[in-house]
Amino acid sequence: MLHQRTACLTAGILAATLALAGCGADSGRGSESGMSDAEPAAETLIIPAGTELVVALRDPVSTEEGDQGDVFQGTIGVPVIVDGKTVLPTGTPVRGRIQTLVKPDAEGPTRLDLVADEIEHPNGEILPVSTGPLSLVSETTARDDLAKVFIGTVAGGIIGGVAGGRDGAVAGAAVGAGAGTIVAIATGEDGHIEIPAGQKVMFHTSREIHSPAA
């Protein structure tokens, strides 16, 4: 009788050990399966400093209605491509602000400085951006000649393109790599500077932007 109980106890312990071993194997297989099903890490592309960002304004911006620090909205007007891959497609939202605003009744020329601050990537991620300012400065000398050049060129063109750069650009003067661009423009009779909604303006990045591929 004692031998029979011992045999039963031994068989029970063996069965329990085998069951635990089977659970451990299944758990290991589940873990391996989970690892194999994991998605690969998203590729990160670097937009180098000095890259041109062409932005189509959603909002009109002017020295008459605006104020220093005001935020403006826009979208990427020309896709940004790195290593043959589109990083920022046309229509990607951009937010910027008025960095400097000098009204015509102040001492000195009327001035409107714009910078881009952030880009909303198509995946929803907000990318911080640092750009040199696009500076629009009223030109009081030879205003008639400037008016002919500015009004005749800006329609469908890009404000802030450096001379010899992108076709259709309204030539500006580069202040330095990533430092910004100055464009002398003719103002209206009231002396104010106004950029209409839909107008394309060009910024130059002053730092790298780390972005996922689109």
Q: Where are the domains of the chain?
A: 1-38, 44-212
Torsion angle defined by CA atoms of residues 54, 59, 60 and 63, in that order, rounded to the nearest 10 degrees: -90
**Residue at token pair 């629009």:** 136
Rounded distance, CA 36 to CA 50, Å? 40
Q: 158 falls in which pLDDT band (50, 70, 90)?
A: confident
Q: 135 falls in which pLDDT band (50, 70, 90)?
A: confident
CB 163 within 8 A of CB 149: no
Model pTM? Answer: 0.69
Judged against a pLDDT cut of 70, whether residue 89 lies above it is answered with yes
Mean pLDDT over the full length of the chain: 73
The better pLDDT of the pair 126, 13 is held by 126
- According to CATH, the superfamily of the domain at 44-212 is Type IV secretion system, VirB10/TraB/TrbI (2.40.128.260)
**Residue at token pair 């031998």:** 3
Q: What is the mean pLDDT of residues 41-49?
A: 84
Q: Exposed (0-12), middle (13-18) or buried (19+): which is 69, by Cβ within 10 Å?
A: exposed
Q: Give the pLDDT score at 180.
A: 67
The better pLDDT of the pair 199, 107 is held by 199
